[in-house]
Structure 1
């Protein structure tokens, strides 16, 4: 009786989770089907009509999108912004996190307190002052300017996260490495980084997704030659209104890349979340 009750409850939970998953995936499926329909088919009916008439579906919209030089350039700009930003944030935060966790230098706690305080500063506060500064430095409207802004505002959380994770490394492990003649650089590269790989992977995923999907910063700091895909799609809405045959494949293409990145690092991401919850 108890076994049957457990099986029934387990089955109900699984059915509920499947239902939630289907509801969550419905907009994604609608976007994908819409991206494969022509503008005429979209005007005649909703995306669900493609389920009964699959002849509506084709990859013509994607072919036309990839032949659009503005869209392809904006996609490349998104890569040029997201990848260097993620790499810089992870590298600088890992170095700073190790220094705050295990190196003793004057003013360490005070500087770390300032880093923590920067977490509560909204990004909107720095938009205009930084834009003025970048204008004086000749960085306004360029890809390096967008990268520098994202790095500056991504570092406080990144340093805070990695410092707390590195601080959980057993002190005896580091002392043993130092007794064996290991330098701080060697300890950092060969001991701390492998141990902190789950947290670093989690940080890289969060940072990449945030920058890839950003539109506010790019809308202000990037000109037409440096705009990412999010801004390019927004400009398509402003210029042409409801051109779903361009917006739908562009939006789905913008969605696919973060999903690929997430699933590629999913194992490390889950390890980082579980390790953080245990610690």
Structure 2
């Protein structure tokens, strides 16, 4: 019965109709992005008088939108772009490192309450991050942390439950014989973790790294709470401000929106093979 159901599901997914539906969904999903991209290269007059699709029959593009959005006096997104990079890189590395160490401890060391600890970490995923914003702000005020540290720690705290859950499940599937052989050869936990576990964990680490990068780069709520000033705010904060103050200047809004999108798109496309491998591969296929 199970094999029959699996065979029917496989035939349904591989049927021509399924391919047609997938193509239609892909077109519907990418059309708004294409329209935004074309709009970002058009002048304000063209945007107000014609639709973006007319660019295919009467192509007219300009780079002044991006120049003004990045370096113009009223927008100047370049500082916010740098802030986004400064915020995102540590906010990805910190939870990855902590989650990898915690996952190894829970998966391959024995201590009282280990299973309950893992259940507690798993349960933290259901806690809305909005609930923790005010308590975290109060703690940060007492510690007098800088805005960057507030954002780094907040993103790391919110990411750790999912990171530990995913990395633990991946790590738990590794063959115990590898660890036993390493212990027989005299290897300690540090050597086992850095020389054996981490190389096999590359697909899982890359998968969660992509998730975390996209989440942090596109985040607005945490940045508004902990880093609202111009000196520390990321791109998302400035683009949100532009939508209010420059609501009629679509040429700047579209250029600014696409500037904020281009980096996560590049990161995802360049690392998608690791993303797929991390989701589907077993431990020894890393």
Tell whether the structures are fold-level matches, with TM greater than 0.5: yes
1:199 counterpart residue number? 204
CA–CA separation in structure 1 for the residues paired with 2:202 and 2:67: 39
1:3 counterpart residue number? none
1:215 counterpart residue number? 220
2:70 counterpart residue number? 66
CA–CA separation in structure 1 for the residues paired with 2:226 and 2:58: 44
Shift of 1:275: 2.4
Q: How do 1:243-262 residues align onto structure 2 when only pairs under 5 Å count?
A: 243-262=249-268
Asked if the contact 1:201–1:268 (Cα under 8 Å) also holds between the matched residues in 2, the reply is yes
CA RMSD, Structure 1 to Structure 2 (Å): 2.1
CA shift digits 1:64-93 (9 cap, x unpaired)? 122137411111111111111101111110
2:157 counterpart residue number? 152
Q: How do 1:1-279 residues align onto structure 2 when only pairs under 5 Å count?
A: 13-55=18-60, 57-68=61-72, 70-139=76-145, 142-224=147-229, 225-275=231-281
CA shift digits 1:12-37 (9 cap, x unpaired)? 55444333322221111100001001
Shift of 1:165: 1.0
CA shift digits 1:19-64 (9 cap, x unpaired)? 3322221111100001001111111122112121102x11111111
Q: Secondary structure at 1:139's aligned position in 2?
A: coil
1:76/1:177 CA distance change after superposition, 3 Å: same
Shift of 1:276: 6.4
CA–CA separation in structure 1 for the residues paired with 2:255 and 2:152: 26
Shift of 1:111: 2.4
CA shift digits 1:202-256 (9 cap, x unpaired)? 1100011001110011111113221110110011122222321111111111111
Segment drifting more, 237-246 vs 174-183: 237-246
Q: Secondary structure at 2:105's aligned position in 1?
A: helix
Segment drifting more, 36-45 vs 103-112: 103-112
CA–CA separation in structure 1 for the residues paired with 2:140 and 2:194: 34
CA–CA separation in structure 2 for the residues paired with 1:139 and 1:270: 37
Asked if the contact 1:77–1:143 (Cα under 8 Å) also holds between the matched residues in 2, the reply is no
